[in-house]
Amino acid sequence: MVDGPEDALAMSGRGKAVDMGLRHRAVAAVVQGGMSARAAAARFGLSAPSVSRWVKRFRERGHVEPDARGGSASRIEAERDRIVRILEARP
């Protein structure tokens, strides 16, 4: 269980996804508890912009789950054949 900023920071780590339970508690503190996003962030050892983003996501989508992550298609893949022809044409 996360009780304070030290516990939250130990769980989250910099640049890593925050535990879903912690996200839910921070959002609940804002939505149900009337706390500001900045105050909830300080209480749970999170960044205020993250908590604000999760609250916005909850109000718009009804959940706080992160968006799917993944790579995008290669920008040169569509031009692959043309690039290969150019390279092959060089002496």
The domain spans of the chain are 5-67
pTM: 0.61
Q: How confident is the model at residue 30 (pLDDT cuts 50, 70, 90)?
A: very high
Q: Which of 10-14, 26-30, 61-65, 78-82 has the highest mean pLDDT?
A: 26-30
Q: How confident is the model at residue 12 (pLDDT cuts 50, 70, 90)?
A: very low
Q: State the pLDDT at residue 15.
A: 65
Give me the CATH code for the 5-67 domain, please. 1.10.10
Cβ 2 vs Cβ 23: under 8 Å: no
What is the overall mean pLDDT for the chain?
Answer: 83
Q: State the pLDDT at residue 57.
A: 95
Cβ 46 vs Cβ 22: under 8 Å: yes
